[in-house]
Amino acid sequence: MRPTIDASPLVHALPRIQPVAIETSGALGASGALGASGALGASAGSVGSVAPVASDATTIEATRAPGSPSVLFVDQSGQLGGAEFALLQLAGHCAASSEVVLLSDGPFRTRLEALGARVQVINDARVSGIARQASGWNCLRVLPGMIRQIRAIAARAREFDVLFLNTQKALVLGVLGKPLHRKPVIWYQHDILTRNHFGRVQLSVVKWLVRFAVDQVVVNSQASARSLAALTGIAADSVPVIYNGIDAAAFSHVEGAEGAEGAGGADIGALRRRLGLPADAWLAGLFGRLAPWKGQHVALDAIARLPEAHLVLVGAPLFGEDAYAQRLREQATALGIADRVHFVGFQDDVPAWMSAMEVILHTSTEPEPFGRVIVEGMAAARPVIAAAAGGVTEIVQHGQNGWLVEPGDVGALADAIGTLRADPVLAQRLARQARDDARSAFSVEQYLEKMTQAIRQAAR
């Protein structure tokens, strides 16, 4: 989520948005507050010139399935955040008829290629480094790099039926090249678009691009749709909501966790030993990149009030939040709980790590646009305590399939953890319902079906 440049004059000449009806269904509950989230994809990059790597220039015509439109996906990040995991599934599914352009290199490329996706990295270090709160002047300074990227993306897009833009920087660069590529554009909006997280210039660019040049927007939650509506004036209920899909099977067949009984269960020792976790401790797990708005500091304060509980922080500072990661360690030491807090870094095998926990925490202090980690915890049949804002309230129903607390409320979080610890029967009931709801409302099959439908309609 990210770039900035006052490009509104450039978009006036571009064609107008075509509303497209996509069949969608609501998830489990209703609504949440408007807000913001997301991170800025500033990443390590190559030099300040467009630098394609991992290029395979062969046409995809030879491999595409008959009748399916070919797609060029664009994502700004080489790191693995929620938007990238969502694209990973889709690009893997469409590998025979698509290509992925990344605007930064990183582990995301490796994961895509492992699924058979064709990937190009079109990197410009200056554009990658632009801050989401950047001024118009700073944006002007990266203009030459942007123009090179716009042209490079457009050159690839000409080979495909549809251009699918997965992040905000991809949106800007992909749409501004539309006069060059003349392909229909889909934007998958993963953010709650407010000033809490995004600069005025950036929001203004997004607003005008969506109004005048994007053929179809799909959003990851009703909360994201409402923020789009507030920004652009487009009716929220006219924007298709396509929830992320979570592979429930991966979360229910964890090696070493066979027979694990979940919250309060006694049979997860072997799995914990494999992961290097204390076998007998009562573990609360918090998954996600280390970033202030993800609220890991709130979880530390809550755990400090619960002498029997340990906290496992799974995730790394992906977008330059190293100072925050350091502050968390200092906070744990200052609270006298360093021996009960386990910083384990970024982990690939999230299903195993979730299965090793008694409870999964979600502590974002800003409204979460969707929150894959919540559905993953549910799919792992673990009770989830989540911060009630944004898309979260479309997933979790308090006391039914999880537990909701006010964002940033340390006392409420500590009470909730204490409640589930003291009442394993309640915790198990929530976990069972959570697993069923994750399977029924957030399946990968539904996600892929709706996405491919959206792509087909855009191609028409």
Distance, CA of 177 to CA of 211 (rounded, Å): 16
Distance, CA of 52 to CA of 144 (rounded, Å): 17
370 is a site residue for ligand UDP (CB under 6 A):
yes
Query: Token pair 């992909």 is at which residue?
Result: 174
- Please, are residues 82 and 391 in contact by the beta-carbon 8 Å criterion? no
- Please, are residues 72 and 180 in contact by the beta-carbon 8 Å criterion? no
Closer residue to ligand UDP (CB): 152 or 291: 291
Convert 188-205 to b/e letters by CB count within 10 Å (16 or more is b).
Answer: bbbbbbbeebbbebbbbb
Which residues touch 106 (CB under 8 Å, ≥6 apart)?
Answer: 43, 44, 77, 78, 79, 80
350 is a site residue for ligand UDP (CB under 6 A):
yes
Instruction: Tell me the window of 4-12, 261-269, 295-303, 343-351 that interacts with ligand UDP (CB under 6 A).
Output: 343-351
Closer residue to ligand UDP (CB): 156 or 362: 362
- Least distance (Å) from ligand UDP to the CB of residue 175? 22
Residues within window 304-323 making contact with ligand UDP, judged by CB under 6 A: 314-315
Instruction: Tell me the window of 15-23, 153-161, 200-208, 368-376 that interacts with ligand UDP (CB under 6 A).
Output: 368-376
Closer residue to ligand UDP (CB): 181 or 362: 362
Interaction pattern, residues 114-153, with ligand UDP; x per rule: CB under 6 A: ----------------------------------------
Closer residue to ligand UDP (CB): 35 or 82: 82
372 is a site residue for ligand UDP (CB under 6 A):
yes
- Given the DSSP bridges, would you call strands 185-189 and 403-405 parallel, antiparallel or unpaired? unpaired
371 is a site residue for ligand UDP (CB under 6 A):
yes
Residues within window 240-299 making contact with ligand UDP, judged by CB under 6 A: 287-289
Closer residue to ligand UDP (CB): 80 or 173: 80
CA distance from start to end of the chain: 28
Select the residue interacting with ligand UDP from 373, 412, 427, 434 (CB under 6 A): 373
- Least distance (Å) from ligand UDP to the CB of residue 368? 7
184 is a site residue for ligand UDP (CB under 6 A):
no
Instruction: Tell me the window of 75-83, 161-169, 260-268, 272-280 that interacts with ligand UDP (CB under 6 A).
Output: 75-83
For residue 313, the SS3 value is strand
- Please, are residues 225 and 236 in contact by the beta-carbon 8 Å criterion? yes
Q: How far is CA 212 from CA 165, 178, 185, 396, in A?
A: 16, 11, 11, 35
50 is a site residue for ligand UDP (CB under 6 A):
no
Closer residue to ligand UDP (CB): 342 or 372: 372
Residues within window 156-175 making contact with ligand UDP, judged by CB under 6 A: none
How many residues make contact with ligand UDP (CB under 6 A)? Answer: 18
How big is the chain, counted in residues?
460
Q: Phi-psi category of 251—alpha, beta or left, where left has phi over 0 and alpha has psi -120 to 50? A: alpha
Distance, CA of 16 to CA of 155 (rounded, Å): 22
Which residues touch 420 (CB under 8 Å, ≥6 apart)?
Answer: 263, 358, 359, 383, 385, 403, 426, 427, 430
324 is a site residue for ligand UDP (CB under 6 A):
no
- Least distance (Å) from ligand UDP to the CB of residue 432? 21
Distance, CA of 344 to CA of 277 (rounded, Å): 10
Select the residue interacting with ligand UDP from 133, 194, 347, 453 (CB under 6 A): 347
Angle between helix 107-114 and 82-93 (nearest 10): 20
Closer residue to ligand UDP (CB): 85 or 212: 85
Binding site for ligand UDP (CB under 6 A): 80-83, 85, 287-289, 314-315, 346-347, 350, 370-373, 376
